[in-house]
């Protein structure tokens, strides 16, 4: 059984439980099943429009779950599988900006509406325009990056600080992915210049995009990513009760993940799993089982919407077998 327990003074938030050890055993079993089921699927392709993301093992499939009491469960290739956060890092940016700037200021820069369009769509700037529809699409995150203060190293240090706070450990930048994005990110440049032409961005576009690509190139694993999702599941506190994020920030971030975290497949994902989530084109998806756990699943084959094919399979299996769809919470006979 692949899990490690952290000591915690709080009672585990697991309903219908006779014994916590029995609950952990069952969750680990379901996590293993999810990975095994996902590995049967070979659909999808890596995000080759960022050339370096194509240079990965397509077989890598990993999952981790951090329960609200600190227990960490892993399955698949979790111990070896590392990847860049890509758009999952937008959660870090949004949470940090909400904590430091406040929601009134943040939502004077961006909206909080689902776009129903692809993550790099320029059309949404006309539909909702000129302000980006929400902070989890590329345009929205680029705008937030434009409002980070200071010189380049100050901005990058700010991103690293918040990443370490939420992920629970130091982060590194995958330099190859970062330079690959710098060389090929013309779509994001187009979005940035369009917003500058409309007055939404006033700073130097080269510097803004350097910050944005740096954010997306942060490297992690499913254990760290599930820890970040657990903070959202646990109301902004770690397993010891230490507050990392305010309750208001958690409410806002989780709500936007539910409506917009998977772009134009957010609705169907929520129907199938009931788990607010955020995807990245490296194949990572983080999901929030409110009051239960943070979940991270990763595999590099993605669909046309930018979501991991195997990741979706794993999350659907976990939600169904553990009864973690928000609309069915408390009705499941799993426990």
Q: What is the 3-state secondary structure (H, E, C) of 137-199?
A: CHHHHHHHHHCCCCCHHHHHHHHHHHHHHHHCCCCEECHHHHHHHHHHCHHHHHHHHHHHHCC
144 within 8 A of 112, measured Cβ to Cβ: no
pLDDT mean over 274-279:
98
pLDDT mean over 102-119:
90
pLDDT value at residue 326:
83
pLDDT of 99 over the 60 cut: yes
CB atoms within 10 A of CB 114: 20
- Pick from 145, 160, 135: which is nearest to 192 by CA? 145
Q: How many residues does the chain have?
A: 335
Q: Which of 126-135, 175-184, 191-200 has the lowest mean pLDDT?
A: 126-135
pLDDT of 103 over the 90 cut: yes
Q: What domains, with CATH codes, occur in the chain?
A: 3-7+17-83+221-322 (3.40.710.10), 87-216 (3.40.710.10)
pLDDT value at residue 3:
41
- Pick from 140, 153, 151, 129: which is nearest to 93 by CA? 140
Q: What is the pTM of this model?
A: 0.91
What is the Cα–Cα distance from 5 to 32, expressed in whole angstroms? 18
Q: pLDDT tens for residues 34-87? A: 999 999 999 999 999 999 999 999 999 999 999 999 999 999 999 999 999 999
pLDDT value at residue 120:
66
Q: How confident is the model at residue 119 (pLDDT cuts 50, 70, 90)?
A: confident
pLDDT value at residue 330:
52
Q: How confident is the model at residue 14 (pLDDT cuts 50, 70, 90)?
A: very low
To the nearest 10°, report the CA torsion of 114, 119, 122, 126.
0
Sole residue written with tokens 């046309």: 304
Structure tokens at 57: 């093992």
Q: Which of 90-94, 182-186, 209-213, 297-301 has the lowest mean pLDDT?
A: 182-186
């Amino acid at each position: 059984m692949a899990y490690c327990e952290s000591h915690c003074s709080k009672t585990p938030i697991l309903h219908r439980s006779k014994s916590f050890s029995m609950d952990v055993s069952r969750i680990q079993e379901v996590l293993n099943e999810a990975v095994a089921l996902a590995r049967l699927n070979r659909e999808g392709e890596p995000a080759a429009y960022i050339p370096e993301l194509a240079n990965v093992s397509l077989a890598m499939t990993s999952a981790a779950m951090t329960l609200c009491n600190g227990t960490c469960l892993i399955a698949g290739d979790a111990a070896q599988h590392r990847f860049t956060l890509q758009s999952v890092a937008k959660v870090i940016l949004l949470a940090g900006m909400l904590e430091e700037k406040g929601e009134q200021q943040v939502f004077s820069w961006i909206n909080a509406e689902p776009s129903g369009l692809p993550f790099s769509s320029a059309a949404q700037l006309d539909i909702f325009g000129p302000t980006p529809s929400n902070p989890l699409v590329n345009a929205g995150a680029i705008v937030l990056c434009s409002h980070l203060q200071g010189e380049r190293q100050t901005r990058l240090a700010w991103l690293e600080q918040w990443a370490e706070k939420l992920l629970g450990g130091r982060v590194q930048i995958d330099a190859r992915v970062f330079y690959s994005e710098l060389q090929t990110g013309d779509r994001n440049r187009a979005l940035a210049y369009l917003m500058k032409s409309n007055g939404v961005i006033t700073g130097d576009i080269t510097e803004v995009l350097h910050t944005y690509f740096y954010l997306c190139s942060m490297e992690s694993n499913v254990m760290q990513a599930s820890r970040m999702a657990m903070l959202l599941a646990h109301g902004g506190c770690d397993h010891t009760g230490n507050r990392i994020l305010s309750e208001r920030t958690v409410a806002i971030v989780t709500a936007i993940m539910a409506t917009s975290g998977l772009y134009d497949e957010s609705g169907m994902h929520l129907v199938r799993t009931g788990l607010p989530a955020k995807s990245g084109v490296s194949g990572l998806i983080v999901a929030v089982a409110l009051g239960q756990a943070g979940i991270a699943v990763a595999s590099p084959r993605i669909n046309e919407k930018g979501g991991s094919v195997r990741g979706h399979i794993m999350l659907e299996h976990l939600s169904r077998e553990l009864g973690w769809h928000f609309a069915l919470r408390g009705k499941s006979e799993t426990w």
